[in-house]
Amino acid sequence: MRRAALSAALALALAAAPAAAVTPRTSLVAIEQQVMCVTCGIPLQEADSPAAQQEKAYIQHLVSAGDSVSKIKAKLVAQYGDAVLALPPDRGFNVAFYLVPIAAVLLALVIVALLLPRWRRNRRASPAPGSAEPLSATDSARLDADLARFER
C-alpha cells in the first residue's frame, strides 16, 4: 500500500511539473533554414559572403546563449529588419502574401463548380459520334456523285 501511494505521489509530481519550462534546444542549421542573408537576398544556409558569415556567427552566439527559435528570430529582426525572415511576418500588408493564394484557389474552385454543370449539359446535348441523322435522298445522291468523281 505504501509503495502504491509513493508511486501515485511521484506520478502526480511529474504531471504537475510545467511542460513549458523545458524549451527544446535549437541549432544554427534550424535557424539558417528560416532566415535570409540580408546582403545577398538568398537563404542564409546557401550564402557564403562575409556578411552571411557574420550573421551566422551572431546566430551561433544566440544559440550558445540558449535562446529559443522565436527569441533568436526576434533579435535578428531587431538587428537586421524584416528582410532577414524567409517568410514575411503575418501582420499588416504582408497578410496578403498568405491570403492571395488561398483566395485564388477558392476562386478557381467556385468557377469550376459553376461551369461544371454547364459543361456536362453541353456534353449530353451534343450528339454522340456515329449517331448522325440519316441523309436525305438528294444528299445521298450528291455524296455518291462526289465520291465517284474522286475515285476516277
Write the pLDDT tens digit of every residue in 74-133.
898 898 888 888 876 667 777 787 889 999 999 999 999 999 988 888 777 666 666 667
Domain count, the chain: 2
Report if residue 113 sits inside a domain: yes
pLDDT band at 20 (very low <50, low <70, confident <90, very high): very low
Domain residue limits at 74:
19-87
Which of helix, strand or coil describes residue 36?
Answer: strand
Q: Same domain for 115 and 61?
A: no
**Number of Cβ atoms within 10 Å of the Cβ of 36:** 23
Q: Same domain for 30 and 70?
A: yes
Q: Same domain for 52 and 105?
A: no
Taking the C-alpha atoms of residue 28 and residue 69, their distance in angstroms, rounded to an integer, is 10
Q: Same domain for 24 and 57?
A: yes
pLDDT band at 34 (very low <50, low <70, confident <90, very high): confident
Report if residue 129 sits inside a domain: no
Q: Same domain for 27 and 80?
A: yes
Q: Same domain for 28 and 46?
A: yes
Report if residue 63 sits inside a domain: yes
Instruction: Rounding to the nearest 10 degrees, give the CA dihedral for residues 76, 78, 80, 84.
Output: 50
Which residues are paired to 85 by β-bridges? 35
Residue 136 host element (H or E)? none
Q: Same domain for 83 and 93?
A: no
